[in-house]
Amino acid sequence: MKIYEYAGCSTCKKALKFLDQKKIEYKKIAIVEQPPSLAELKKMLVYYDGQINKLFNTSGLVYREMGLSEKLKTMTETQALKLLSKNGKLVKRPFVLTATSGRVGFKEDEWKKLIL
């Protein structure tokens, strides 16, 4: 299991604590320094039925500064995925991929289904 996270993110901290309590092994990756690859983003997009907006950190400062709520409406999927792959602050976190599934954000009930 890979988990892309940001050290200053309280939601990421909750997710990591949850995984630690469940004794789940994971590889932690700093999302700002190493954003998910295009292939990983495409894989996650499948889990969200092509809803590209679900992969964006819509509450983030960079998202707001770039005016992405409007720009996303006219971007192609490829353009949006390339943008995410180049700027980890735009990716909703935590971003977790298992061998068979994935999730963004942390909702304990969803994560229980994902890993247990």
Q: pLDDT for 31-49, tens place per residue?
A: 999 999 999 999 999 999 9
- Matching CATH number, 2-115, of 3.40.30.10, 3.40.190.100, 3.40.50.460, 3.40.50.1370: 3.40.30.10
Mapping DSSP to helix (H, G, I), strand (E, B) and coil, where does residue 32 land? Answer: coil
Mapping DSSP to helix (H, G, I), strand (E, B) and coil, where does residue 94 land? Answer: coil
Q: pLDDT for 19-31, tens place per residue?
A: 999 999 999 999 9
Q: What is the edge-to-edge ordering of all strands in the sheet holding 27-30?
A: 27-30, 2-5, 95-97, 102-104
Domain positions in the chain: 2-115
CA nearest neighbour of 42 among 2, 81, 94: 81
Written as six digits, the tokens of 15 are 């997710």
